[in-house]
Structure 1
């Protein structure tokens, strides 16, 4: 069946094609209510669908951005996507979401696909291993913003947590509550900024409080190996008194193992996680969490990208935008009994 065109709508509504175009693009300044109503009824009657591709070619914009997350299973990723979508919707932009699974090849394919579809810009939680592709985007002045991670020597604005401060807050809180033997478990993703920075923050906080760093209390593991790694740590002499889970997926694995082994929190092992999880307040006992301000991070990333898209000559004021973590203190890290 032949597609209904804008010209068909114009003839049926007895108006000019330009008037229909103005209606479709929400420009009603000089349009009477009667004309608007007639066009609206005609569009419904003829089942007219605007040709978005043709309009984007004419306007040189698809009003669409891409978002490539490293791992959509992270609570952080879904919260960031939601905030970005809200901001873009407010600005009249659509969002295409892709999940790279921390796989550089998958990320590369998504970047190439999104650019082939002529999206106006991309927000990436980068794997960090597509240097040539990132450099090409910078060279061609293609609008791109990184979230959660940085890539060394890459002139791309990054919006992220102060990760060292996040781990430091957790360690300092545990030390203040009488815990000195503190372990940390993060998951393996090569060269990923938060993992490196959070371990650095953990070590620095111990050293600054005159507590020696025990390398046996530091584990960098695949998520599937977290339970085994935690058990090995708990068999050490002496074992850690508290565990800092480097992100939400690690925290879940830590809690699963603790439940299987019937370990009491916090009397036998205190627990703190970085990245808020939906069950933290009603878990028993409620979990102490170092929370990322995901709304502020997502909002800033969207604002930055949209500004670069709408003003091609704009230059971000900074290369890295850091946001402060928030420590939500609950029962899982309460003071140790002497």
Structure 2
């Protein structure tokens, strides 16, 4: 480019001229088709792109390849640390592979979620990640019958036959129950959001009941409450506290936000953890590690869930996978002072 053109936006022809190659070679470079390109040629184009501050037109690239290079991601609560970490993993993979991530937060509102699904479809996205509220299964099944690839995150949808990436809930709850039994707890309550048709909540609660069933001396109860409804959660907690069925009592939270709410309420009531009641739960958030006492948690591979789901979706877009894949990533029990064994200090 000439001096007088300093303010003009560089084009693909400018890059080709600066690197001494054809426009077609630069196009192959921008599409990351390096197979037949020599290292020297690639280095010259690298230098030209940097010198000219060249930014390829995403629209033009999409028109050439019949793609928008955009994937949608519908999440139920963008303020939840679990969702934030999953999003970070998804974004990192999307960016590396040249895609933009369009995020829609449904606020756990099924109507809002349905509207976002319709909007994303109209935007011509290349693929869709769905962390569903569990109330729009039929809508998702209809979308699954269309041309846009879909990968579910954390929550499955019955009979949809879609790819799923989430945690190994069965093993995670089994490890937690085994720990509580070995530590001598005999009155345990599992606190979860209202289960409804949410598969991960149902799965965790079912494993909790099943694994405690052989232990006749242990009272194991499940309490459902909308974590955003203070009155509802307080009522369920009071119901458990007012009905002791053992000497060693423990609350088991189904996710990180629930664990935080329970922790705050135990502190407000002046109940000492773990002397009077113990607490553990899903999600190894920073606050749980720095709480007093530090809390026993189930650490999920949240960032990896987002990354793996996005990799799988992009592989579908590229046509490199066809069959359904269900991926369950390991979750690790991290034992801390909030669940001490009987007699420990």
> Which bracket does the TM-score occupy, shorter chain normalised?
0.7 to 0.9
Does 2:230 align with 1:222? no
Contiguous gaps of at least 5 residues in structure 1: none
Tell me the CA shift for residue 197 of structure 1: 1.2
Contact 1:147-1:158 at 8 Å conserved across structures: yes
Aligned partners of 2:45, 2:302: CA distance in 1, in Å? 44
Confirm or deny: 8 A CA contact 1:227 1:254 kept in the other structure. no
Q: Which runs of 4+ in 1 moved over 6 A?
A: 10-16, 32-36
Q: Normalized against structure 1, the TM-score is what?
A: 0.85
C-alpha distance in structure 2 between counterparts of 1:266 and 1:35, whole Å: 62
Offset at residue 265 of structure 1 (A)? 0.6
Distance (Å, rounded) in 1 between the aligned partners of 2:328 and 2:33: 39
Structure 1 counterpart of 2:132: 126
What are the Cα deviations for residues 163-213 of structure 1, in whole angstroms up to 9, with x where unaligned?
Answer: 233233222211211111111111125311121111111111111223465
Greater shift in the superposed pair: 77-86 or 262-271: 77-86
Size of the alignment, in residue pairs?
A: 329
**Corresponding residue to 2:329 among 308, 323, 330:** 323
Distance 1:7 1:59 in 2: 16
- Indicate the larger mover: 91-100 or 143-152: 91-100
Inter-CA distance 15–307: structure 2 relative to 1 (3 Å threshold): closer
Segments of 5+ residues of structure 2 without an aligned counterpart are 1-7
Report whether the alignment pairs 1:191 with 2:197. Answer: yes
TM-score by length of 2: 0.84
Distance 1:34 1:75 in 2: 43
| Gap change, CA 1:56 and 1:233, over 3 Å in 2 | same
* Partner residue in 1 for 2:265: 257
Counterparts of residues 279-290 of structure 1 (less than 5 Å): 279-290=287-298
RMSD: 3.0
The structure-2 alpha-carbon separation of the partners of 1:22 and 1:155, relative to structure 1 and needing over 3 Å to count, comes to closer
Contact 2:173–2:204, Cα closer than 8 Å, also in 1: yes
C-alpha contact 1:125 1:147 (8 A) present in aligned 2: yes
- Whole-angstrom distance in 2 between the partners of 1:310 and 1:266: 52
In structure 2, the CA distance between the partners of 1:222 and 1:25, relative to structure 1 (3 Å rule), is same
1:1-338 alignment, distance < 5 Å: 6=11, 9=14, 18=24, 21=27, 25=31, 29=37, 31=41, 41=51, 43-44=52-53, 50-188=56-194, 190-211=196-217, 213=219, 217-223=221-227, 224=230, 225-238=232-245, 241-311=249-319, 314-316=322-324, 318=325, 320-337=326-343
Of 9-18 and 264-273, the range deviating more from structure 2: 9-18
Give the secondary structure class of the aligned counterpart of 1:126.
coil
Greater alpha carbon shift after TM alignment, 62-71 vs 265-274: 62-71
Question: 1:304 and 1:81 mapped to 2: Cα distance?
Answer: 15
What is the alpha-carbon distance in structure 2 between the residues aligned to residue 210 and residue 64 of structure 1?
54
Give 1:12 shift. Answer: 8.8
What do residues 222-267 of structure 1 show as CA deviations (whole Å, max 9, x unaligned)? Answer: 1133233212311224477111011111101101111111111101
